[in-house]
A and B are shown apart, each in its own frame.
Chain A
Amino acid sequence: MSAQTTHIVGSSPIRKEGVAKVLGRAQYIDDIALPNMWFGATVRSTIPRGRITSITFDPAIPWHEFTIVTAADVPGENTIVHIAKDHLCLASTHVNHPNEPILLLAHPDRAVLPAAVAAVHITYDPLPAVFTIDQAEAPDAPAIWGDPDAPEKNLFKSYLMRSGNESQLDAIFAAADHIVTGEYRTGAQEQLYIENNGIIAEYSATHGVTVRGAMQCPFYVVHALQLVFNLPAEQCRVIQTETGGAFGGKEDFPSVIAAHAALLAMKSGHPVKICYDRAEDLAATTKRHPSRTRIRTAVSKDGKLLGGDIAFCLDGGAYLTLSATVLSRGTIHAAGPYRWPALRVSGKAYATNLPPHGAFRGFGAPQSIFATERHMDRIAHALGITPEDVRRRNLLAPGDRTATGQLVPQSGPDTVDMQHLLTRALTESDYHAKQARFQKENPTSPIKRGIGFATFFHGSGFTGSGERRLNSLVEIELTPTGQPQILVSSTEFGQGTNTILCQIAAETLHLPYDFILIAQPDTKHVPNSGPTVASRTAMIVGKLVERAAQSLVQSLITSGHLPHHYSADDFRHAALAYLAQHGPLKASVRYQSPGDIVWDDDNYKGEAYPAYAWAVYVAEVAVDTTTYAATCTNFYALQEVGKVLHPILAAGQIEGGVAQGIGFALYEKCVWQQGHMANNQMTNYIMPTSADLPPIHVAFEEIPSIHGPFGAKGIGELPMDGPAPAILNAIEDATRIPFNEIPLLPEDIFQRMTANGHTSGDPCVPEATA
């Protein structure tokens, strides 16, 4: 596809809901009050695992004023369904993690709820618990989930991805010039949307359940409510309100809080609002899965990868929730954008007695890419070649196949040349000159500077056959004013869904951007265009919007109302004439899997994603050897994401993702005590402020993809993948110490530097194995 000339796509119109946001008029869930509304609160477990032995209510509280809901009040199944039904809506006999919901309270006065929650006393018979991957997989671990006699205990899900001559790996390792091994770990990370999770629910015997609130995936919530209330989908109406950030943290969790609020609404006969405060949101809702990755590679003396054996493990928390799909994406991305003659990746997600971990931007990929990109540098150091050399010798080139066997196109659209991206990134970031300068200055400076980079890719859309299963539907209707209105369940939570979908429709329809409307996601009125996750909105939903717009205009042309060339006024007249003559007009299109996208779920082979976005990120750091603080001082992000639909929004996505990646690497640590997040406050869970971040330089290569509208691909998750490994690579460049665990805080640096006697800044020879 040659690059199309576009006018609206590729420009940066004002975001659709932007005026309401800057005026402070956008209505987030906690800004909304319904008549006669009550407030809900949750009584939670205080231990990680055990049997509930008693629940008593302190007589000091006037309980008759409250509505109290327990598992016994659930009319349908007591489960929040995601992939499996193991996750209870309300615990009844046992608890499996701290802060598990047991009982719900509602009262007309919000202010009395905290004291009431504290006045419900629950006693337990504690059971042994596990809190880490290492504990969960131990042969003598208590079986906390699943079949206690299973060959591997506490295992939610495993994958085995075999690639190339995987069956020959033993021989390859035996004959290799070098074997380089390493272990890499990443911690839990909180999404930390500034708007906490919140829902308002209503119930009526005739209409069923209506919930509104902050969320990414309205139809996930419908699905969960259907089971809890034993109602048909039509009686579970879900409306997304303006959502103050999500990043995956409002993908699966809103189903829980929606079910809770709706149960209280049903029993109390009032609309019920549950909005968590920060402490509750941090303690009880999902975080990024902690990971442990062990990599063993066989490498030739000139730095070519000969074979790899990667064991990628995730801590899933107490219930399966989305762990299987997070694991899947992480497993596939562990291979990185490299040529592997032989590769085995084993992915395993374990149960622990932490609150369930869930979706967070990147969805498993930031964890495995951290490991792989740190490992590429480890190979370089072990062989005495540069990190650049080791990438140059192994990067996928046009005509190569990824570890799942997907062809990187050799010519035409989607032909991405990583060697070129690497050259451009290293040149524009002035990598070589800076590295030389830092190496010269470091020995005499208490501040050690370093520069490092990561090369990576991120698949757009659901993994494997996911898009086919989703079977998304998009509609565009004509409003009574003769304007096209997009109907999708794809949600806006800051990333720009409303704006880019309207741009695509405007461009396709040859109409002004301001003329296009997009409906609020309300499952009563919009079709299921799938969840707003997985960097799928621009590419997959955007393509459907393009096709729906084409179909809409065709209907107006073939009905004789619209000439082939038309102005916005012509369009409006034609639309009004059509509506008067024929009644409503709605164009619907459904996802069609491109014929050449084939995926084998059992063997993890084929086109894992329709397309990948590719990137090279370069980080500069300064490590202060007196305070042991590491700071990222400059950041350069080059990515190939296909056509950039909206340059300002796109750059904003990258900058925001990079900031979260810097937090993941250097700031954000969940402190767990017996499975409870001990630092569940913004005061001591530290995210980067405006004073902490370096300049972030963003650059795009635009190689149109055939898979997305006007050549666009997914962009949202990509920037989360690269910063952490680039930063840790830079820290090794600065200190000569390989740090392989994040978050990396000053105390960790202090420990290693003083233990190794490296405060003087003398370079040391890196170990080949960890």
Chain B
Amino acid sequence: MTQITLTINGQPRTIEAPPLKRLLDVLREDLHLTGAKEGCGEGECGSCSVLLNGELVNSCLVPILQAEGAHITTIEGIASNEKLHPIQQCFLEQGGAQCGICTPGMILATHHLLEKYPQPNLLQIQEGLAGNLCRCTGYTRIFQAVQQASKTPGTNSVPSPI
């Protein structure tokens, strides 16, 4: 067991865990933040995506040891005070979420993409989301949600991860 201190959605947290325990399991089991999902456990599907120091990572591939001192943003930290974040609102309106299992990861990937390219073109969107698999939508409506979000004021006023 190692003691790990990190900041999750703005809150400092200290946990005890085996050093190689996956960040995904720490979030889901120790911190009861179940928004990050395990789709594959091997870095292929992106349903476990979180932001680690502002970078998009697959939390199934991150040993908790590597998250010491890190600032983590999960889907639970994207909305503020019961108000949907504009990205969430756009996914809702455009039909970007069907079964919803990929949605938390998609929304975090979108957030990361829009930080990098505030007005992304279609190719940038396609490539920016290529690490997040969605089996339901065929992605079309997700692209539309991202495009709408890029035009919505406040999209980049996300509670800053750092």
Chain A residues close to B by CB (< 8 Å) = 12, 14-15, 17-28, 30-31, 191-196, 242-247, 277-278, 493-496, 648-649, 651-652, 655-660, 681-683, 687, 689-691, 693, 695-696
Contacts of A682 in B (CB 8 A): 39-40, 42, 44-45, 133
For residue B76, CB closer than 8 A to chain A, the reply is yes
Given A17-B100, A195-B39, A22 and B135 contact (CB-CB distance below 8 Å): no
Question: For the complex, would chain A's binding face be called helix, strand, loop or mixed by DSSP majority?
Answer: loop
26 contacts between A and B (CB under 8 A): A14-B93, A15-B95, A15-B97, A20-B100, A22-B92, A24-B35, A24-B74, A24-B78, A28-B34, A192-B135, A194-B45, A194-B99, A244-B37, A244-B100, A245-B99, A246-B99, A652-B140, A655-B138, A655-B140, A682-B45, A682-B133, A683-B42, A683-B44, A689-B131, A691-B126, A693-B140
Give the secondary structure class of B's interface.
loop
Q: Is B59 at the interface (CB under 8 A from chain A)?
A: no
Give 15 new A-B contacts, CB below 8 A, not counting A23-B35, A690-B142, A696-B140: A15-B92, A15-B95, A22-B84, A23-B76, A24-B78, A26-B100, A30-B38, A194-B133, A194-B134, A243-B99, A244-B102, A493-B99, A652-B98, A659-B139, A682-B44
CA distance A651 to B142 in the complex (A): 12
Output the nearest chain B residue to A661 by Cβ-Cβ distance: B138
Mask: chain B, 107-147; 1 = CB below 8 Å from A; 0 = not? 10000000000000000011101111111111111110000
Residues of B within 8 A of A493 (CB): 99
Q: Once bound together, how far apart are the Cα atoms of A276 and B34, in whole Å?
A: 17
Given the complex of chains A and B, what is the CA–CA distance between A618 and B137 in angstroms? 19
**Do residues B91 and A656 form an inter-chain contact, with CB atoms below 8 A?**
no
Q: Is the CB of A691 within 8 A of B127?
A: yes
Contact partners of B40 in chain A: CB under 8 A: 278, 681-683
Identity of the chain A residue whose Cβ is nearest the Cβ of B75 in the assembled complex = A24
> Are B98 and A656 within 8 A (Cβ)?
yes
Q: Which residue of B lies closest to A684 (CB)?
A: B44
Q: A277 to chain B: which residues have CB within 8 Å? A: 38, 41
Cβ contacts under 8 Å, A695 to chain B? 140
A676 to B137, CA, bound (A): 30
Distance, CA A658 to CA B134, complexed state (A)? 13
Per the bound structure, the CA–CA distance linking A95 and B94 in Å amounts to 48
Q: Are A687 and B133 in contact (CB under 8 A)?
A: yes
Cβ of B103 under 8 Å from chain A: yes
A residues less than 8 Å from B158 (CB atoms): none
Interface residue B150 (Cβ < 8 Å from any Cβ of A): no
Q: Which one of A23, A278, A652, A659 lies within 8 Å of B95 (CB-CB)?
A: A652
Among all A-B residue pairs, the 6 with the closest Cβ atoms: A24-B35, A244-B101, A494-B99, A21-B100, A24-B75, A659-B138
- Cβ A195 vs Cβ B101 within 8 A: yes
Q: How many A-B residue pairs have CB under 8 A?
A: 168
Please give me the residue from chain B that is nearest to A12 by CB atom. B95
Contact, CB under 8 Å: A687 / B135: yes
A contact residues around B38 at 8 Å (CB): 30, 277
Task: Say yes or no: B101 contacts A18, CB within 8 Å.
Answer: no
Q: How far is the CA of A97 from the CA of B8 in the complex (A)?
A: 46
Could you tell me the distance in whole angstroms from the C-beta of B37 to the nearest C-beta in chain A?
A: 7
Contacts of B76 in A (CB 8 A): 23-25
Minimum Cβ distance to chain A for residue B33 (Å):
8
> Distance (Å) between the CB of B126 and the closest chain A CB?
5
With known contacts A22-B84, A194-B39, A683-B44, A245–B107 Cβ distance under 8 A: no
CB of B110 to closest CB in A, whole Å:
11
Residues on the A chain within 8 Å of B134, using CB: 194, 690
CB-nearest residue of chain A relative to B84?
A22
Q: Which residue of A lies closest to B127 (CB)?
A: A691
One digit per residue, 1 when the CB lies within 8 angstroms of any chain A CB and 0 when it does not, for chain B 78-91 equals: 11000010001101
Cβ contacts under 8 Å, B126 to chain A: 690-691
Give the docked Cα–Cα distance between A695 and B131 (Å). 19
Specify which chain B residues have a CB less than 8 angstroms from the CB of A196 in the assembled complex. 39
Q: Is B47 an interface residue (CB 8 A)?
A: yes
Task: Decide yes or no: A23 and B98 within 8 Å by CB, A278-B39, A682-B42 being known contacts.
Answer: no
A193 to B141, CA, bound (A): 18
Residues of B1-47 at the interface with A, using a CB-CB cut-off of 8 Å, are 28, 34-42, 44-45, 47
Known: A27-B34, A690-B143. A494 touches B39 (CB 8 A): no
Decide if B104 is an interface residue (CB 8 Å cutoff): yes
Closest chain A CB from B8 CB (angstroms): 13
Report the bound CA distance from A193 to B99 in whole Å.
9
Cβ–Cβ < 8 Å partners of B44 in chain A: 681-683
Q: Which residue of B lies closest to A244 (CB)?
A: B101
- Name the one of A192, A242, A681 contacting B42, with C-beta atoms under 8 angstroms: A681
